[in-house]
């Protein structure tokens, strides 16, 4: 298990270790992906829509990218209770994953309803 962590120094304690998945997630996000997730965080509907449309055409960003905290754009929108962004993301078929459980845990009733009424793409597991 210790191989999954990066140590800051040889004599550092266990608390000073950084999980590699966090280091990788941070280093692998492109500038476009960072601005996409930032727009979702801020609730900037126009910028999110533009990023999603460009992703469909140019494939420059992964619309299912994960921020350093392990959150997708959909989870960020649920945390911010931004139903318009959630609906927009679902219309572009972002990966849903555990979003329903996350919405229930955060008690975002509108998001729960949107997710329950959303039809999953044929390739996504139930």
| pLDDT tens by residue, 23-44 | 454 568 889 999 999 999 999 9
Report the alpha-carbon distance of residue 80 to residue 60 in Å, rounded. 26
Q: Is residue 107 part of a domain?
A: yes
Q: State pTM to two decimals.
A: 0.74
Q: pLDDT for 79-112, tens place per residue?
A: 999 999 999 999 999 999 999 999 999 999 999 9
CATH classification of the domain holding 9: 1.25.40.20
Contact 123, 95 (CB under 8 A): no
Q: How many domains does the chain have?
A: 1
Task: Tell whether 14 is covered by a domain.
Answer: yes
Domain span including residue 103? 2-117
Residue 36 domain-assigned (yes or no): yes
* 100 in a structural domain: yes
Residue 125 lies in a domain: no
pLDDT band at 6 (very low <50, low <70, confident <90, very high): very low
Q: Are strands 18-19 and 5-6 parallel, antiparallel or unpaired?
A: antiparallel
Q: Is residue 126 part of a domain?
A: no
Whether residue 94 is contained in a domain is answered as yes
Query: What gap in Å lies between CA 71 and CA 66, rounded to an integer?
Result: 5
What residues contact residue 121 under an 8 Å CB cut-off, 6+ apart? Answer: 93
Does 21 fall in a domain?
Answer: yes
């Amino acid at each position: 298990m210790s191989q999954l962590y990066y140590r800051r120094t040889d004599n550092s304690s266990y608390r000073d270790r950084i999980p590699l998945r966090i280091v990788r997630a941070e280093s692998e996000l492109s500038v476009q992906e960072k601005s996409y997730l930032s727009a979702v965080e801020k609730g900037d509907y126009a910028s999110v829509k533009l990023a999603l449309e460009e992703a469909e055409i140019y494939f420059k960003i992964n619309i299912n990218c994960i921020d350093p905290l392990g959150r997708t754009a959909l989870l960020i929108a649920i945390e911010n209770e931004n139903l318009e962004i959630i609906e927009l993301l679902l219309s572009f078929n972002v990966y849903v994953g555990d979003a329903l459980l996350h919405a229930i845990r955060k008690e975002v009733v509108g998001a729960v309803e949107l997710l329950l009424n959303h039809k999953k793409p044929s390739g996504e597991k139930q």
